[in-house]
Amino acid sequence: MSKYNFDNIVERKGTNSVKYDLSNEIFGTDDIIPMWVADMDFNSPPFILKAIEQRLQHPILAYSIRPDSFTKSITYWLKSRYNWEVDESQISFSPGVVPGMLMSMTAFSNPGDKIIVQPPVYFPFFTTIKANGRQIIYNQLIEKDNYYTMDFNHLESSIDNNTKAIFICNPHNPVGRAWKKDELERIVDICYSKNIKIFSDEIHSDIIIKPNKHIPLASISEKAAEITITIMAPSKTFNMAGLSTSFVVIQNPDLLKKYNKELDAFHLRQGNIFGTVATEAAYSPIGAIWVDEMLDYVTENINFVMGFIHKNLPQISIQKPEATYLLWLNMKELGMTHKELTEFFIHKVGIGINQGRIFGPGGNGYIRMNVATSLSIVKEAMERLKKAIG
Ligand X SMILES: Cc1ncc(COP(=O)(O)O)c(C=O)c1O
Q: Which of 35, 74, 97, 377 binds ligand X (CB under 6 A)?
A: 97
Query: Binding mask 284-313 vs ligand X (x if CB under 6 A, - otherwise)?
Result: ------------------------------
Residue 96 contacts ligand X per CB under 6 A:
yes
Give the C-alpha separation, 187 to 120, whole Å: 17
Query: Which residues in the 324-383 window bind ligand X by CB under 6 A?
Result: none
201 contributes a contact to ligand X by CB under 6 A: yes
**Smallest separation (angstroms) from ligand X to the CB of 143:** 18
Stretch that binds ligand X, among 3-11, 91-99, 210-218, 269-277 (CB under 6 A): 91-99
Strand partners, 312: none
Contact flag: residue 235 with ligand X (CB under 6 A):
yes
Instruction: Answer for the pair 366, 19: CB distance below 8 angstroms, yes or no.
Output: no
Residue 383, SS3 per DSSP:
helix
The residue range among 1-9, 28-36, 90-98, 287-295 that interacts with ligand X, by the rule CB under 6 A, is 90-98
Q: How many helices (H) and strands (E) does the chain have?
A: 14, 14
Q: Is 121 exposed, middle or buried (0-12, 13-18, 19+ CB in 10 A)?
A: buried
Candidates 86, 169, 294, 346: give the one binding ligand X (CB under 6 A): 169
C-alpha–C-alpha distance, residues 177 and 229, integer Å: 20
Contact 171, 214 (CB under 8 A): yes
Cβ–Cβ < 8 Å for 156, 150? no
Instruction: Quote the least distance from Cβ 10 to ligand X, whole Å.
Output: 20
Interface residues for ligand X in 54-83 (CB under 6 A)? none
Q: How far is CA 334 from CA 85, 103, 147, 314, 331, in A?
A: 48, 41, 20, 10, 6
H or E stretch at 73: helix 68-82
State in angstroms the smallest separation of the CB of 118 from ligand X: 12
The contact pattern for ligand X, residues 101-140, with x = CB under 6 A and - = no contact, is ---------------------x------------------
- Binding-site member from 48, 98, 184, 291 for ligand X (CB under 6 A): 98
Other beta carbons less than 10 A from residue 63's beta carbon: 7
**How far apart are alpha carbons 136 and 165 in whole angstroms?**
10
Q: Which is nearer to ligand X, 120 or 287 (CB)?
A: 120
Residue type, 61: L
Query: What is the nearest approach in angstroms of ligand X to the Cβ of residue 287?
Result: 18
Q: How far is the CB of 325 from ligand X (least distance, A)?
A: 11
Residue from 256, 189, 174 nearest 222 by CA: 189
Query: Cα separation of 13 and 257, whole Å?
Result: 43
In the chain, the amino acid numbered 386 is K
In the complex with ligand X, the residue whose CB is nearer, 163 or 246, is: 246
Taking the least distance from each CB to ligand X, the nearer of 16 and 29 is: 16
Contact 164, 113 (CB under 8 A): yes
Which of these ranges, 112-120, 157-165, 233-241, 292-300, lies near ligand X under the rule CB under 6 A? 233-241
Residue 72: CB minimum distance to ligand X, A: 22
Report the candidate in 217, 377, 213 with the shortest Cα–Cα distance to residue 295. Answer: 213
Binds ligand X by CB under 6 A, chosen from 32, 33, 35, 38: 38
CA 186 to chain centre: 22
| Residue 240 beta carbon to ligand X: minimum distance, rounded to whole angstroms | 10
Stretch that binds ligand X, among 92-100, 133-141, 205-213, 337-345 (CB under 6 A): 92-100
Q: Which of 230, 246, 319, 374 binds ligand X (CB under 6 A)?
A: 246
If one asks whether residue 173 binds ligand X (CB under 6 A), the answer comes out as yes
Please state, in angstroms and rounded to a whole number, the distance separating the CA atoms of residues 166 and 196. Answer: 7
Q: Stretches 1-9, 96-104, 266-274, 363-371: which one binds ligand X (CB under 6 A)?
A: 96-104
Helix axes 273-282, 46-55, angle to 10 degrees: 140
CB of 243 vs ligand X, minimal distance in Å: 10
Closest Cα partner for 242 from 6, 19, 7?
19
Contact residues for ligand X, defined by CB under 6 A: 38, 96-98, 122, 169, 173, 201, 203, 233, 235, 241, 246
